[in-house]
Amino acid sequence: MRAVNAVTAGRPDRPDRSVRPDRSAADSGDAAVTLERVTKNYGRVTALDNVSWTFRRGSFTAIMGASGSGKSTFLHLASGLDRPSSGTIRLGDTNLGKLKESALTVLRRERVGFVFQGYNLVPSMDVERNITLPLFLGGRKADQRWLTEVVHRVGMAERLDHKPSQLSGGQQQRAAVARALVTRPEIVFADEPTAALDPRTAGHVLRLLREAVDATGQTVVLVTHDPVAAAWADTVVFLSEGRIVDELAAPTAATVLTRWETL
């Protein structure tokens, strides 16, 4: 277990979130994404084993686990990037298993936001075109008011005409966060978005994800190996050998690290 990084940009004040999440969200219509008895096999290897979980709308959830625990598989299935071997996954009321690949592609582009460790910006495009790329691919025009709000929120208003090569890693990741938010997705999945960043810059990116939840009611799922990053979430879900083994509400870096060391 590596030592916890000290993020110099502190967490914003938040309301008390010490109450454990209500797993009846799927029944109340408050579910952003629901997994029911989901299993994923790769040959003889079971990467995810009979997992059920509900991501509530307006929540921030961190997924943690050691390498090979199934956390990336969890994200890929929940976001529609991959299909389960068995079980049901719903985005809102939409059963992803009943969609053809073309429809699933449209759903991911229009209803899901992604932030990856490698930024995934198009080198030949400037920041503004990178941010609005999902809209362009869907044949949609940007809502200029919302676009302006998003680029100001991520601090990229003065960099819209820059190419990715002209940006720092932190600026590229902030552009990627803006791209994930510009379509007003129902849920944003962030896969190790701060792993390549220094602690201070990582703190800035995590604050953006936190503010997306608190300011606009966005739903965010963060896959991370860093207890400091996980502490920005409302709830931390721990995976081990493809199964959910615990959850932790109102986490701190210390409580996350303590729990993870017992997995």
- Pairing state between β 60-64 and 235-240: parallel
Q: Worst-scoring range by mean pLDDT, 20-34, 71-85, 95-109, 164-178?
A: 20-34
pLDDT band at 262 (very low <50, low <70, confident <90, very high): confident
Q: Is residue 131 scored above 60 in pLDDT? A: yes
pLDDT in tens, 143-181: 999 999 999 999 999 999 999 999 999 999 999 999 999
pLDDT tens digits, one per residue of 72-95: 999 999 999 999 999 999 999 999
Would you list the domain boundaries of the chain? 27-118+187-260
Mean pLDDT in residue range 8-12: 43
Q: Would you say residue 33 has pLDDT above 70?
A: yes
How much is the pTM?
0.88
Q: What is the pLDDT of residue 152?
A: 95
Fold (CATH) for 27-118+187-260: Rossmann fold (3.40.50)
**Kind of pairing between the strands at 86-91 and 31-42:** antiparallel
Question: Is the pLDDT score of 6 beyond 50?
Answer: no
Closest of 163, 88, 89 to residue 124, by C-alpha: 163
Give the residue among 156, 165, 100, 110 at the shortest CA–CA distance from 133: 110
pLDDT at 245: 96
Lowest mean pLDDT among 17-26, 33-42, 101-110, 137-146: 17-26
pLDDT of res. 263: 76
